[in-house]
Amino acid sequence: MLQVFDIIRFFTASLVGTKSGVKKYILYTGISAILLCGVVIYAGLHLSGLLGKYLASIIPWQWAHESLMFSFIVGLATFVFVFMIFKYILIILLSPLLSYISEKTESEITGTKNRGAFSFIQATSRSIRINLLNMAKELIISSMLFLISFIPMINIISLPMLLMVQAYFTGFGFMDFYMERHYSFSKTIEIVYQHKWAAMTLGSIFILMFTIPIIGILFAPYLTVVVGTRYFAARIKSIET
């Protein structure tokens, strides 16, 4: 659980220690997130109703037609799936800027410049590759959990697991902006899994910030990538030994 406490500690420090010079980065990433979030809310509200009616028509269980739990499961699952797509679109679209923020944060921590020059193409291509893979994995796992959530009693376990999966891959996406400068594609997957509790905590912070209208959404992308960078920058020696 040390990973969890460390992420929270770095988040608190980043929240309190935000400098005035980063306002432009917060605005660029935050405004993009707010615009995309509006699309997500609109799509989620419309899709949940349509999906609920469709599933109720094909599911043989009578309780599904009149159960509030069924409506809750469909609504939550729709939000999770729509948010999942939104999350990956956001990370990929902002990948050059988030990668630059991560590089800048690491330089401030270590006091040294990172190897090589910043590459827009490299940051974007890496983000597309790793996030498409993560999206495929998350989609498969989430679909399985969604299906078993219709089984009474089992849904008590499946729904929290669905949110944990969402948080893990969200944290993974933001952690990779640090990892891309230090580790290969396959090594990144291995290391992030070793720090899965940190990834879930980081992803949970991002998701929770999105529940705070405007302000939370505005700061979420910037703070998440900074916290992920600070977390691994503090552990670079222990990871490599």
Least confident of 31-35, 39-43, 86-90: 39-43
Measured between alpha carbons, how far is 144 from 77 in angstroms, rounded to an integer?
A: 11
200-209 burial: b if 16+ Cβ within 10 Å, else e: bbbbbbbbeb
Q: pLDDT tens for residues 154-192?
A: 767 887 888 899 999 999 999 999 999 889 989 999 999
Structure confidence at residue 49 (pLDDT): 64
Give the model's confidence band at 24: pLDDT under 50 very low, under 70 low, under 90 confident, else very high: confident
Domain limits, the chain:
21-240
* 8 A C-beta contact, residue 113 and residue 170: no
Measured between alpha carbons, how far is 112 from 124 in angstroms, rounded to an integer?
A: 24
95-112 burial: b if 16+ Cβ within 10 Å, else e: bbbbbbbbbbbbeeeeee
Measured between alpha carbons, how far is 222 from 94 in angstroms, rounded to an integer?
A: 10
